[in-house]
Amino acid sequence: MMTSLPLIFDTPRKAMPPRHLADLSPAERRAAVTELGEKPFRADQLSRHYFSRLENDPAAMTDLPAAVRDRLGAALLPPLLTEVRHVETDQGTTRKTLWRLHDGTLVESVLMRYRDRLTVCVSSQAGCGMACPFCATGQGGLNRNLSTAEIVEQVAAAARVAAAGELPGGPVRLSNVVFMGMGEPLANYQRVVASLHRLIDPAPAGLGLSQRSVTVSTVGLVPAIGKLADEGLNVTLAVSLHAPDDELRDTLVPVNTRWKVREVLEAADAYAARTGRRYSIEYAMIRDINDQPWRADLLGTLLSGRLAHVNLIPLNPTPGSKWDASPKPVEQEFVARLSDHGVPVTVRDTRGQEIDGACGQLAALA
Ligand code: SAH
């Protein structure tokens, strides 16, 4: 059977949102403000409001003269994300938000409070073109790329909710961002890299998050992993492997027909060598599909000696899917075999399952 290759770098022509401060580097912000007839320092004032104080309402920026904030606000701080609703679970420590974008497109993000950190899982595209058969987002195809600011605003919105004390446990700082929501981040490369700068650049250029607490997860677009290694960033890379052998991975992650397991791991190795950062291998445990002891051994052999650690994800069954999560004893056997090969392995918790907010469940149904 022929596996059709998804559109990778091509995106349907869809209207991108209006320009926003968070799309721009500090130099571009000053240029934009100057073009609007204002002094460049106004750009720094706007940046301090937006990135240091998480303020996105121009009316609240009272250190700017009213006429200036009206003009700059309209030109550089258009509302990009409108909350349709949010749902909570795990005693309020997991919160999924459905956002409507300027053109009616829907995307989701998920906020998860842990004992020691607060993580937001963001979308980088509306829909996804990678067509992984076990993933809810993959079933609808790609709608469009998100703009840099649409990505950053998901993070800023999460940070606002946290700082305002809306989560149980009181006010808290957002610490982690994972690009594990809807979409393939490396298929929206330029905008995702720009958003990484907005997240990690020190305030007021950006939000000042630590690089290692930002994770970019990819199906394994090999040339893009290489490019990311050249950016001089030290963000954490996660690779969605899901199978150690090409025969099975061709079906679970269709882009594998283009870049094979070996090439993907070599690209991740090069990223690790360049950044000194250990990468994650994501592996959804699917009953009787990829969870056999021999596959654990094959994965162990493949990864032993590499600067990688395995994150097993119990499969979240998606509507209409014929697949199920592996039974616990099978999962434990898989963990034991990887450990025997000296490969570090953890099993991800299944946060947000009841609100369809868990890994691979984001489908943005209104
Ligand atoms: N496109 C990126 C981000 C996707 S979501 C990537 O593929 O890495 C993050 C992780 O959730 C990926 O590893 C993805 O394969 C996994 N995932 C998708 N659907 C899932 C499901 N139903 N159950 C468990 N994990 C799933």
* Shared domain check, 148 and 280: yes
Is there a domain that residue 115 lies in?
A: yes
Pick from 214, 241, 291, 313 the residue to mutate for probing ligand 1's pocket: most ligand atoms within 8 Å of its CB: 313
**Calpha distance 267→228 (Å, rounded):** 10
CA diameter of the chain: 68
**Calpha distance 67→265 (Å, rounded):** 54
Pick from 124, 125, 359, 361 the residue to mutate for probing ligand 1's pocket: most ligand atoms within 8 Å of its CB: 359
* Shared domain check, 70 and 86: no
**Calpha distance 242→299 (Å, rounded):** 10
* Shared domain check, 279 and 219: yes
**Calpha distance 197→130 (Å, rounded):** 25
The pLDDT, as a whole number, for residue 191 is 98
pLDDT grade for 14, boundaries at 50, 70 and 90: confident
Q: Which atom of ligand 1 is nearest to the CA of 242?
A: 15
> Could you tell me the distance, in angstroms and rounded to a whole number, from the CA of residue 65 to the centre of ligand 1?
47
Q: Taking a C-beta distance cutoff of 8 angstroms, is the pair 252, 132 a contact?
A: yes
Token readout for 131 is 């067509």
* 114 φ, ψ (degrees, to nearest 5): -110, 175
CATH number at residue 199: 3.20.20.70
Is there a domain that residue 7 lies in?
A: no
**Calpha distance 32→75 (Å, rounded):** 9
- 240 close to ligand 1 (CB < 6 Angstrom): yes
Q: Which of 233, 253, 178, 191 is nearest to 9 (CA)?
A: 191
Q: List, for residues 209-249, the tens digit of each pLDDT value.
A: 999 999 999 999 999 999 999 999 999 999 999 999 999 99
Average pLDDT, the chain: 93
- List b or e across 265-283, with b for residues whose CB sees 16 or more CB atoms inside 10 angstroms: bbbbbebbebbebebbbbb
Q: Which atom of ligand 1 is nearest to the CA of 321?
A: 22
Query: Other C-beta atoms within 10 Å of 42: how many?
Result: 21
Q: Taking a C-beta distance cutoff of 8 angstroms, is the pair 240, 264 a contact?
A: no
3-state class of 87 per DSSP? strand
* Shared domain check, 151 and 63: no
Q: Taking a C-beta distance cutoff of 8 angstroms, is the pair 328, 362 a contact?
A: no
Q: List, for residues 301-321, the tens digit of each pLDDT value.
A: 999 999 999 999 999 988 888
Is there a domain that residue 11 lies in?
A: no
Kindly name the residue from 128, 132, 135, 359 that is annotated as catalytic: 359
108 is catalytic: yes
- 224 close to ligand 1 (CB < 6 Angstrom): no
**Calpha distance 350→314 (Å, rounded):** 7
Query: Other C-beta atoms within 10 Å of 260: how many?
Result: 16
* Shared domain check, 35 and 139: no
Whether the ω angle into residue 204 lies within 30 degrees of 0, i.e. cis, is yes
Domain boundary among 35, 58, 76: 76
C-beta pairs of 259-267 under 8 Å, 24+ apart in sequence: 259/220, 259/221, 259/222, 261/302, 263/220, 263/222, 264/220, 264/222, 264/225, 264/239, 265/239, 265/302, 265/303, 265/306, 265/308, 267/220, 267/222, 267/225, 267/226, 267/229
Q: Which helix (H) or strand (E) holds 29?
A: helix 26-35
* Shared domain check, 306 and 201: yes
- 268 close to ligand 1 (CB < 6 Angstrom): no
Pick from 120, 121, 134 the residue to mutate for probing ligand 1's pocket: most ligand atoms within 8 Å of its CB: 134
- 219 close to ligand 1 (CB < 6 Angstrom): yes
Domain boundary among 76, 96, 118: 76
Token readout for 67 is 């006429």
3-state class of 214 per DSSP? strand
* Shared domain check, 94 and 70: no
Q: Which of 145, 138, 139 is nearest to 123 (CA)?
A: 145
**Calpha distance 283→244 (Å, rounded):** 9
- 314 close to ligand 1 (CB < 6 Angstrom): no
Residues in the chain: 366
In this predicted structure, the answer to whether residue 148 has a pLDDT above a threshold of 70 is yes
Pairing state between β 236-240 and 279-285: parallel
Q: List, for residues 167-195, the tens digit of each pLDDT value.
A: 888 999 999 999 999 999 999 999 999 99
> Could you tell me the distance, in angstroms and rounded to a whole number, from the CA of residue 9 to the centre of ligand 1?
19
pLDDT grade for 4, boundaries at 50, 70 and 90: very low
121 is catalytic: no
Kindly name the residue from 38, 88, 108, 150 that is annotated as catalytic: 108
Q: List, for residues 40-94, the tens digit of each pLDDT value.
A: 999 999 999 999 999 999 999 999 999 999 999 999 999 999 999 999 988 888 9
Q: For ligand 1, atom 19, which residue shows the shortest CA distance?
A: 360
* Alpha-carbon dihedral sign for residues 268, 269, 274, 276: positive
Number of domains forming the structure of the chain: 2
> Could you tell me the distance, in angstroms and rounded to a whole number, from the CA of residue 240 to the centre of ligand 1?
7
Domain that holds residue 268: 82-365
Query: Other C-beta atoms within 10 Å of 358: how many?
Result: 25
- List b or e across 117-142, with b for residues whose CB sees 16 or more CB atoms inside 10 angstroms: ebbbbbbbbbbbbbbbebbbbbbeeb
Is there a domain that residue 69 lies in?
A: yes
